[in-house]
Amino acid sequence: MSYNKRLDGRKFDEVRKMHAKVGIIKRADGSAMFQIGDTIALAAVYGPRELHPKFLQNPERGVLRCNYDMASFSVTERKKPGPTRRSTEISLVTEKALASVIDLDLFPNTVIDVFIVITQANAGTRCAGISAAAMALAHAGIPMKDMVAAISVGKVGDKIVIDLDKEEEDFEEGATDIPVAMTARGKEVTLLQLDGDVTKDEVMEAIKVAKKGCDEIHKIQTKALKEIYKNE
CB of 14 to ligand UDP, least distance (A): 18
The residue from 21, 49, 61, 166 that contacts ligand UDP (CB under 6 A) is: 166
Residue closer to ligand UDP by CB (options 159, 166) is 166
Pairing of strands 176-183, 189-192: antiparallel
| Window 68-97: contact mask with ligand UDP (x via CB under 6 A) | -------x---x------x-----------
Q: Any idea of the CA torsion for 129, 228, 36, 215, to the nearest 10 degrees? A: -90
Residue closer to ligand UDP by CB (options 29, 69) is 69
The residue from 32, 123, 133, 178 that contacts ligand UDP (CB under 6 A) is: 123
Do residues 132 and 116 touch, judged by C-beta distance below 8 A? Answer: yes
In 3D space, the residue among 206, 195, 108, 100 whose CA is nearest the CA of residue 153 turns out to be 206
Do residues 118 and 128 touch, judged by C-beta distance below 8 A? Answer: yes
Window contacting ligand UDP (CB under 6 A); options: 109-117, 123-131, 181-189, 211-219 = 123-131
Walk across the sheet containing 110-120 and list its strands.
18-22, 30-36, 39-50, 110-120, 63-70
Provide the CB-side half-sphere exposure for 130 (13 A, CA).
Answer: 33
Window contacting ligand UDP (CB under 6 A); options: 97-105, 124-132, 212-220, 223-231 = 124-132
Interface with ligand UDP, residue 98, by CB under 6 A: no
* Interface residue list for ligand UDP (CB under 6 A): 75, 79, 86, 121-126, 152, 166, 169, 177, 179
